[in-house]
């Protein structure tokens, strides 16, 4: 039987100090509400070597969380200037499309810098590092959450902390413990593998021919391979994604770099990317299998005392670039609803109303986004049935409508009534 060594009473307990958790704590802090964040690792955590690409909806959400936040975030990354999309068939480039971005409407920010920027603004006394949620249970009008933690003084012995809260927010990412306790499902493997690296490259040696802030997306028409290159000022970012059907990558003793090159060698027309990978130091290359979460109709538990946000609620195929943006949107919207609840001193009813309103607004939006992300995933079997029936022109119309709809944030969150595919 575990022994509770410490007890805490808080109004709002956020599990997870990633992008959604910290952004929510900050959004609430800006509204005069103190929420506590419990993160299993350190905050900021070790660099996952990833980059977040944020468009208009994400920028508006950041501004809603804290005015000026998007500008500070951009200083840690770079505003995107233009995006070039090149399709490849039989090793040859067959078409190129270029989108010029309006000033300050999209940015690339390393994941680590995004987390550090958020952490910088959140009061240090509300962020509890090295606290891993074990389980939660109802307690009076709220919940009781049990954490395993390591004290600062002796970092080997595990202790138990019981946190009593009016609302527990599960912002604990794709491998969410809160979701496991609430729903019991697991992430879905997308049979895609991704290699990515953020390389310090002030003289553009690793990536050539891309202007400052330019993004180049290159994809094979059959969907088996795609890559993204970003000139992010002092940094070059590259991402390579490929279908992986038979786990041919996991059972080898090769390094990530060698595996990436071995796979790439099977295709013609990717010499430039091959060169980029060769020039990247091995230790900077992150390899991972891509996962998502099947959409849920409900993100709450125990009559509105527990709520999921961010990847825990709606992790989606990363290719749509909405992961960090929707984490910020969630945090922004939930801050607004909880501010309302704070006027009733977080009564059980006021929290329930906030949670219900949040779900009504967000669940339909994220279901639509999930459908679009599945359509973008490389594997045809992930495409929803109705999408397979669309002609190329209809798919193009959907892509334009989708972009307009998400960028209209915070308007039309549940769906754009003037659209055909994003209603
Ligand atoms: C390589 C890579 C590239 C990406 N690129 C993009 C991109 O270009 N654009 C984009 O929009 N998004 C991108 N994303 C996705 C984006 O990073 C995520 O969608 C976003 O981080 C989700 O935020 P979150 O807070 O929900 O989850 P996370 O940021 O994963 O945070 C969850 C936190 O919860 C903590 N935690 C987990 N379990 C527990 C527990 N039991 N107790 C306490 N704490 C716990 C974890 O340690 C973690 O810190 C990318 C992600 C990766 C990995």
Q: What is the pLDDT of residues 204-238, one digit of tens each?
A: 776 777 888 999 999 888 878 889 998 888 888 89
- At 22 the pLDDT is 98
Report CA(416)–ligand 1 centroid distance (Å).
28
Residue minimizing CA distance to atom 6 of ligand 1: 52
Q: What is the pTM of this model?
A: 0.94
Distance CA 200, CA 47 (A): 14
Residue minimizing CA distance to atom 48 of ligand 1: 18
Q: Is 40 in the pocket of ligand 1 (CB under 6 A)?
A: yes
Domains assigned to the chain: 6-47+112-186+296-407 (3.50.50.60), 188-292 (3.30.9.30)
Q: Is 170 in the pocket of ligand 1 (CB under 6 A)?
A: no
- At 153 the pLDDT is 63
- At 234 the pLDDT is 82
- At 393 the pLDDT is 93
CA of 288, closest atom in ligand 1: 1
Cα 242 to its chain centre, rounded Å, is 20
- At 5 the pLDDT is 80
- At 326 the pLDDT is 98
Distance CA 187, CA 171 (A): 15
Low-confidence ranges of the chain (pLDDT < 50): 1
- At 4 the pLDDT is 63
Evaluate the omega torsion of the peptide bond into residue 389 and state whether it is cis, within 30 degrees of 0: no
Report CA(367)–ligand 1 centroid distance (Å).
19
Distance CA 13, CA 119 (A): 16
Report CA(173)–ligand 1 centroid distance (Å).
5
- At 148 the pLDDT is 95
CA of 58, closest atom in ligand 1: 11
Q: Which two tokens stand for residue 181?
A: 């306790």
Distance CA 375, CA 394 (A): 13
Q: Is 327 in the pocket of ligand 1 (CB under 6 A)?
A: yes
């Amino acid at each position: 039987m575990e022994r509770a060594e410490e007890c805490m009473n808080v109004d709002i307990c956020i599990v997870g100090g990633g992008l959604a958790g910290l952004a929510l704590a900050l959004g609430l802090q800006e509204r005069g509400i103190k929420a506590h964040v419990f993160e299993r690792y350190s905050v900021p955590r070790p660099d996952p070597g990833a980059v977040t690409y944020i468009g208009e909806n994400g920028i508006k959400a950041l501004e809603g969380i804290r005015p000026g936040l998007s500008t500070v975030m951009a200083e840690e990354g770079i505003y995107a200037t233009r995006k070039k999309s090149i399709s490849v068939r039989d090793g040859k480039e067959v078409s190129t499309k270029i989108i010029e971005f309006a000033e300050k409407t999209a940015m690339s920010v390393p994941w680590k810098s995004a987390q550090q920027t958020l952490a910088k603004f959140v009061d240090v006394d509300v962020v509890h590092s090295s606290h891993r949620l074990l389980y939660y249970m109802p307690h009076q009008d709220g919940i009781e959450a049990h954490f395993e933690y390591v004290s600062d003084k002796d970092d080997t012995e595990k202790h138990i902390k019981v946190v009593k809260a009016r609302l527990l927010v599960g912002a604990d990412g794709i491998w969410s413990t809160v979701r496991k306790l609430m729903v019991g499902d697991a992430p879905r493997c997308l049979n895609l593998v991704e290699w990515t690296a953020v390389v310090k490259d002030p003289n553009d040696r690793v990536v050539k021919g891309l202007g400052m802030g330019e993004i180049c997306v290159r994809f094979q028409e059959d969907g088996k391979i795609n890559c993204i290159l970003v000139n992010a000022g002092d940094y070059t970012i590259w991402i390579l994604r490929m279908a992986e059907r038979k786990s041919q990558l996991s059972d080898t003793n090769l390094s990530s770099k060698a595996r990436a090159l071995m796979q790439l060698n099977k295709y013609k027309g990717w010499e430039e990317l091959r060169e980029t990978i060769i020039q990247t130091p091995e230790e900077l290359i992150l390899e991972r299998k891509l996962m998502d979460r099947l959409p849920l109709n409900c993100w709450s538990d125990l009559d509105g005392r527990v709520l999921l946000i961010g990847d825990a609620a709606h992790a989606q195929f990363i290719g749509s670039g909405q992961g960090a943006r929707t984490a910020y949107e969630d945090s922004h919207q939930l801050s607004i609803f909880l501010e309302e609840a704070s006027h009733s001193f977080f009564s059980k009813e006021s929290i329930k109303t906030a949670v219900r309103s949040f779900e009504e607004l967000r669940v339909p939006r994220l279901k639509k986004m999930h459908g679009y992300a599945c359509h973008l995933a490389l594997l045809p079997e992930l495409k929803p049935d109705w999408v397979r029936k669309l002609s190329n022109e209809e798919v193009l119309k959907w892509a334009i409508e989708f972009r307009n709809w998400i960028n209209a944030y915070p308007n039309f969150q549940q769906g754009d009534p003037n659209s055909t595919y994003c209603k």
